[in-house]
Amino acid sequence: GNWFVEGSFMPGYYDEGSSGTDLGGNVQFRSLIGIGYALTAERKLSLAIDHKSNADIEDRNPGSETLVLRYTVDF
C-alpha cells in the first residue's frame, strides 16, 4: 500500500547558542517515529514526533519533543 512507518536514531552535538534551548549538555540523542502516506511515487506526506535528550549522561536532562508535518518531493 501507500502507507509507511519511519523511524530513526541519531547521536549528535548541540550548541544552544545565545538564545537557544538549554538541553543540559552538548551531546544529544534524537529518536524519531512517524507515519506517512505516499501520494505518488515522488511525493510523500508524513507526521512524525521526535525526542531529543542527553540520555542522562549529564546532571540535567530536560529533553525536547517536536511534532513535525512533512511534505517530501523526491528528485
Residue 18 has pLDDT above 90, yes or no: no
Q: What value does the mean pLDDT of the chain take? A: 94
Give the pLDDT confidence score for residue 64 in this predicted structure.
92
**Rounded to two decimals, what is the model's pTM?**
0.80
Q: How many Å apart are CA 67 and CA 50, to the nearest integer?
A: 7
Q: 549529564: which residue's cell? A: 58
Dump pLDDT digits (tens) for 33-61: 999 999 999 999 999 999 999 999 999 99
Q: Which three cell numbers stand for residue 15?
A: 550548541
R_g (Cα) of the chain, nearest Å? 15
How large a percentage of the chain has pLDDT more than 90? 88
Residues with Cβ within 8 Å of residue 73, at least 6 apart in sequence: 42, 43
